[in-house]
Structure 1
Amino acid sequence: MSTDADNRRGAGLMMASMAAFTINDVFVKAAATDLSLGQILLLRGVIAIAVLLLLARRFHALRRVPARDARLIALRCAAEIGAAYFFLTALLALPIANVTAILQSVPLTVTLCAALFLGEAVGWRRWSAIAAGFVGMLLITRPGTGDFTLASVYVLIAVGFVTLRDLVTRRMSVAVPSLLVTLSAAIAVTLFSVGLTAVQGWSPMTPRLSGLVLGSALFVTAGYFLSVAAMRVGDVGAVAPFRYTSLIWALVLGWAVFGEWPEPLTFAGAAIIVGAGVFTLRRGRAVRTQTRIPAGSGPRPR
């Protein structure tokens, strides 16, 4: 059981991770005015792989894993490719805060799919939070209006891929090093970007573009490393809610860098998603604690 100091440290690491991921998104969005998505992913991937390889060697994460875990890693890599492509494609067309807000529904979709496909028990409180979260998604995407575009569909597809990725990760053995999983995903996305670049083309690099791509690679690598560290330091239920601080970064950076500011309905939808997500994470933590109560104490309400 983590101490309060561990949880505070984990919360700090998670907030730093979310800041790094959002800054990476800003670099990608800025570079995409002159470079194709495939080229950005390819260049960023090469740098990220080099950094992750050094870290994996440093922490002895390069090892053989059981066949079952190897299959799960392969499936997770496929989900990572889909998530990266659809999320970043949507990011280039939509305000960064809108895309970030919709992505915050992932804890809700993971809980939903875990109940439907993995047989995890979910009570009426979390079902209600999931329903509220989907209402929030509707307020942001507004299907049936002019604001609902192909990019809106892409970000919803990205949520599906991230959900699959997280569910697969939960099925892996605890003996599988997190750095190995992250490195495998980086290699898979980079290989995918080679084909994407062949279709989308290659543009000349300038010092400005090189700086943007380098910044993207460094911040996305830092984000992954910090998020892994955060989840290993504190309790999941105490640390995970701080992932929502990425929305604050998205609002500030979207306004400061791109002049984007969400509409009131987007703010309302984001608030609902964040509230529902935090409740779901907290409730899940409480339920897991209750299930560790000795037999004979009787079931607790969910």
Structure 2
Amino acid sequence: MDNIKGMAWMTLAMLAFALTDMVLVFATRALPLGQVLFLFGTGGAALFALWAGLQGHRWWSPVLLMRPVMIRNGAEVLATVSFVTALSLIPLSTLSAVIQANPLLVTLGAALFLGEKVGWRRWTAIGVGLAGVLLIIRPGAAAFDPNLLFAVAAAIGLSLRDLATRPVPKTVPTTLLASYSFAAVGLAGLILIPFAGGWQVPDAAMVGIILGGILLGMVAYFAITAAMRVGEIAVVTPFRYTRLVFAFAIAVAVFDETIDALTLAGVGVVVATGLYSFWREAQARRRAA
């Protein structure tokens, strides 16, 4: 029953993330990039700070200056700035496909930087999965879009954020970590405002859309945390790929995008190798236990 609850929470989180992506597409089409980052960052930071306060935690805390937290905030800035920039330049379906390499990149980073043991089977899965990413972005092809590199940077930033989260003590509340990350993104947006289109006064509808996006982001953060705490990681984590299903549905139904066969083939390779990597990691944990 706990695993079923965990799968449900993870699926809800991925739906909320996909809907947040949709909101960001609308926002970047109406407002300058730096302003969008600033509004989402400061809004999310304020709401998560309020949430942390209700839990009895002080926002200004020595936790903010911990090395893993600072690295995590920097990675969040790289991931979010690259992700939102990519949303404004490339199709949502393509971006969603590329970032599915995140679990493979996390495994790669854990082996290279955290000393985690990775067998030859998972190394092979990583190599094949990254080949699937190349199939999606197709560097060197006539139709290659350099803006796809923002999607690659977003995937790398997300992976670095996940790796930096591991050394953070479990006593540090998720709400504080989320508030710090959003605040870092808001600061990055503030710095970019003079260089990325300035500032425009949003209308009432856009204000509502942005607030809705921030709330969806909070739902996603809460749901993914609940999923990882309720169910077994090996069972729950593969449901991260449901985000791709939701993203493709939104891309086709809302933004009238078309998904070509090579992209679908690349996605199939990335997802298959990611699932295999999850399975091998679960096997290794069982043996260690």
TM category, shorter: over 0.9
Q: 1:117 to 1:146 in 2, by over 3 A?
A: same
Pair member with larger Rg: 1
Across the two proteins, how many residue pairs are aligned to each other?
287
**2:190 corresponds to which residue?**
194
For structure 1, list consecutive stretches of 5 or more residues without a partner in the other structure: 293-302
Structure 1 residue 61 displacement after superposition? 3.9
Q: TM-score, normalised by structure 1?
A: 0.91
Give the Cα separation in 1 of the matches to 2:265 and 2:57: 43
Q: 1:236 to 1:62 in 2, by over 3 A?
A: farther
**2:246 corresponds to which residue?**
249
Structure 1 residue 141 displacement after superposition? 0.3
Choose the corresponding residue for 2:106, options 107, 110, 113.
110
Give the Cα separation in 1 of the matches to 2:52 and 2:288: 35
Structure 1 residue 239 displacement after superposition? 0.8
For structure 2, list consecutive stretches of 5 or more residues without a partner in the other structure: none
Q: 1:286 to 1:35 in 2, by over 3 A?
A: same
Give the Cα separation in 1 of the matches to 2:46 and 2:131: 42
Q: Secondary structure at the match of 2:152?
A: helix
Give the Cα separation in 2 of the matches to 1:58 and 1:16: 24
In the alignment, is the contact (CA less than 8 A) between 2:104 and 2:126 conserved in 1? yes
Equivalent residues in 2 for 1:67-106 (5 A)? 70-106=66-102
Structure 1 residue 66 displacement after superposition? 6.0
The residue type equivalent to 1:118 in the other structure is L
Q: 1:238 to 1:198 in 2, by over 3 A?
A: same
The residue type equivalent to 1:231 in the other structure is M
Q: Secondary structure at the match of 2:115?
A: coil
Equivalent residues in 2 for 1:255-274 (5 A)? 255-274=252-271
In the alignment, is the contact (CA less than 8 A) between 1:11 and 1:239 conserved in 2? yes
In the alignment, is the contact (CA less than 8 A) between 2:102 and 2:159 conserved in 1? yes
Give a deviation string over 1:176-230, Cα, whole Å, max 9, x none.
2111111110111111111112322011211222222122111112111211111
The residue type equivalent to 1:111 in the other structure is T
In the alignment, is the contact (CA less than 8 A) between 1:38 and 1:194 conserved in 2? yes
Find out whether 1:129 has 2:125 as its counterpart: yes
Q: 1:61 to 1:129 in 2, by over 3 A?
A: farther
**2:277 corresponds to which residue?**
280
Q: TM-score, normalised by structure 2?
A: 0.95
Structure 1 residue 117 displacement after superposition? 2.0
In the alignment, is the contact (CA less than 8 A) between 1:141 and 1:147 conserved in 2? no
Give the Cα separation in 1 of the matches to 2:91 and 2:29: 14
**2:51 corresponds to which residue?**
55
Choose the corresponding residue for 1:173, options 163, 169, 176.
169
Q: Secondary structure at the match of 1:171?
A: coil
Q: Secondary structure at the match of 1:174?
A: coil
Give a deviation string over 1:229-262, Cα, whole Å, max 9, x none.
1111111111111010000011100011110121
**1:237 corresponds to which residue?**
234
In the alignment, is the contact (CA less than 8 A) between 2:45 and 2:181 conserved in 1? no
CA RMSD, aligned part only? 1.6
